């Protein structure tokens, strides 16, 4: 898998998405013309009548250029036995953090996960006990800071999925 990470970094560099300290520069963050509130509302509309879907907002750069700060994820519940290498999943790590990373290998202890830009794999295996689900859809926002009046509402009603360095 180390070769795959090296190849990914090389492809990102060739595409002009330079990496610094193992994480892609924020300039490569995909953005859209809609606000975070609009992206959240769109994601919530998609999940309105589906108990198997949940909405999370992203903090961190480890999954760039696919998603980064300001992105909104729709996560679909999925049994662990249906997981496959390359899927982007959300799970709870041993530090009780919710993490959005891709699966890189199946092991006897579960699945190894890693951010696209992380030089190390996550220390917590993904198992049936800590799996939240698989990323089903991504809504990109303009990644601008939310106005203080809206920030409390957004933070209170939308859990965070970290796309961060391995822990």
Interval 19-56: pLDDT, tens:
434 444 445 889 898 998 899 999 999 999 999 999 99
Q: Residue 138: pLDDT band by 50, 70, 90 thresholds?
A: very high
* Averaged pLDDT for residues 108-129: 96
Q: For residue 167, is it within any domain?
A: no
Helix axes 148-157, 36-47, angle to 10 degrees: 30
* Whether pLDDT at 15 is above 60: no
Domain that holds residue 6: 2-162
Q: Which of 29-43, 74-88, 140-154 holds the top average pLDDT?
A: 74-88
**62 vs 23, 115, 166, CA distance in Å?**
6, 5, 9
pLDDT of residue 153: 66
**pLDDT greater at residue 3 or residue 133:** 133
CATH number of the domain residue 123 falls in: 2.10.109.10
Q: For residue 9, is it within any domain?
A: yes
Q: Residue 127: pLDDT band by 50, 70, 90 thresholds?
A: very high
Q: Residue 2: pLDDT band by 50, 70, 90 thresholds?
A: low
**pLDDT greater at residue 147 or residue 102:** 102
Q: Residue 18: pLDDT band by 50, 70, 90 thresholds?
A: very low
- What total of structural domains would you count in the chain? 1
Q: Distance between CA 44 and CA 77 in Å, rounded? A: 16
**pLDDT greater at residue 48 or residue 165:** 48
Please, how many CA atoms are within 13 Å of residue 8, restricted to the half-sphere of its CB?
22
Q: For residue 111, is it within any domain?
A: yes
pLDDT of residue 155: 62
The mean of the pLDDT values for the chain is 84
* Whether pLDDT at 151 is above 90: no
* Averaged pLDDT for residues 57-80: 95
């Amino acid at each position: 898998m180390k070769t795959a990470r090296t190849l990914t970094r090389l492809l990102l560099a060739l595409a002009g998405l330079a990496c610094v300290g193992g994480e892609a520069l924020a300039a490569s963050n995909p953005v859209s013309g809609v606000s975070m509130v609009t992206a959240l509302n769109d994601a919530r509309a998609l999940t309105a009548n589906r108990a198997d879907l949940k909405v999370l907002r992203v903090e961190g750069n480890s999954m760039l250029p696919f998603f980064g700060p300001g992105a909104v994820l729709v996560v679909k519940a999925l049994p662990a036995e249906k997981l496959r290498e390359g899927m982007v999943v959300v799970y709870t790590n041993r530090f009780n953090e919710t993490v959005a990373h891709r699966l890189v290998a199946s092991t006897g202890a579960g699945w190894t996960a890693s951010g696209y830009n992380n030089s190390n794999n996550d220390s917590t295996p993904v198992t049936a006990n800590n799996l939240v689900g698989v990323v089903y859809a991504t809504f990109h926002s303009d990644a601008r800071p939310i106005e203080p009046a809206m920030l409390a509402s957004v933070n209170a009603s939308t859990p965070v999925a970290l796309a961060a360095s391995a822990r």
